Amino acid sequence: MTAPSGFYAWSDTLCGVYYGPGCVQTALPELLEKVSAKKALIVTGKSLFEKTVEDILNRVNASGGVFHDISQFSPIAGIRRGVALYKENTCDSIVAVGGGSPIDAAKAILYFAQQEQGGKKRPLIAIPTTLSAAEYTSGVGYTDEEGNKAMIASPGLAPAGIIIDAELSVFTPSRLWLSTGMRALDHAVETMYRVGVPVPVKHLGYAAIHDLFSYLPESKANPQAIEVRQKLLVAAWMSLWPMRMNINSPTGLSHTIGYKIGPTYGIPHGITSCLSLAPVVKLQADVASPEDKKWLAGSLFCINEPSTGSVEADIRKFSDCIQKLVLTLGLQTSLSEYEVPKADLTKIAERTLGTSEHPLYPQVVDILESIYTQK
């Protein structure tokens, strides 16, 4: 098996996506030069600080220091500490290394620093080590003082460069790696019925679905297989292909549920997708538009499963395949395992939909009840 490698660029905002094992060695200096970065702050997670970042630092001239005081869900308190360090060290850019939390934190640090410094845009280079795909959006999610998910959306938040190097992902814990792969699957599947997604991006979603179903089990069986990890990192890219529409296009129901249960109850976003994606897909067999149903049903072909002859039955079969993948990866869990009070389920459903009067409110309550004790 040959690992995918190469280079992709689209606009002046995105100077390039470099991908391939070992590519960080040449890609990072090239990107830093392209964006005229002289003093970059490294933002990373605590677990990666000693294992990976020292090597990255050796490629960053006049580094603005390292900030690793950021935890899951990017709390606002940590972001403020990052902004203070960024300003104190007179940085002109950020290199973010890690998963969704450090990359989102880096976006937020740049956003708030720019607000305090007159709005001048500063470049971000993202080096992902998970499959969460936060680097491909123009938005940022963080946790506010009350523990709620907060969002900022702006074209200026998109990274100037992305480096997808599978060799840097080998230190990622297996459960985090595989669960963020399910998060990527969540992105790809919800591409089929999210509002405003153009047809070519839906076909990229199909390719992502195929590769995630194919290579996540392989990666679990052989975690050191760099070629497999590289294919999964590219699949995560295809699952959430960068597009301006991301700013205004609402997320699908699975993501929305995840945003409500994740930060509040300490459930990692990859795990929320393991919980919510399959039942939400099954619901689409009843509530999606005819066109969206066709796109979802087409996913069966991507995973080499025969059609049942019925669009609705195909969607339900695809839902069962997703749940089987969760089991295969050893990621089956429940809301009760994360100590979510059962009395909170109706409140979560209401927060997900905005009101208990929403037509889907009973179905969302049913979904939450179904994943409360599943094992």
pLDDT digits (tens, 9 = 90+) for 69-94: 877 777 888 889 999 999 999 999 99
Q: Where do the H-state alpha helices sit in the chain?
A: 24-34, 46-48, 54-57, 76-88, 100-116, 174-190, 199-221, 226-239, 253-265, 269-287, 290-297, 299-302, 311-328, 345-353, 361-370
Query: Would you call 3 helix, strand, or coil by DSSP?
Result: coil
Tens of pLDDT along 109-143? 998 888 887 767 789 999 999 999 989 988 887 88
Residues 6+ apart with CB under 8 A from 228: 1, 215, 218, 219, 222
CA distance 20 to 37: 23
* pLDDT surpassing 80 at residue 262: yes
Residues 6+ apart with CB under 8 A from 278: 319, 320, 322, 323, 326
Tokens 């104190």 identify what position? 88
Architecture label for domain 14-164: 3-Layer(aba) Sandwich (3.40)
Q: How confident is the model at residue 50 (pLDDT cuts 50, 70, 90)?
A: low
Identify residue 177 by its one-letter amino acid code.
W
Is the pTM of the predicted complex or chain greater than 0.85?
yes
pLDDT > 70: percent of the chain: 93
CA distances from 141 to 74, 79, 365 (A): 8, 11, 25
* pLDDT surpassing 90 at residue 202: yes
The domains of the chain are located at 14-164, 174-371
Residues 6+ apart with CB under 8 A from 115: none
User: Tell me, which fold does domain 174-371 have in CATH?
Assistant: Dehydroquinate synthase-like, alpha domain (1.20.1090)
Tens of pLDDT along 273-308? 999 999 999 999 999 999 999 999 999 999 999 999
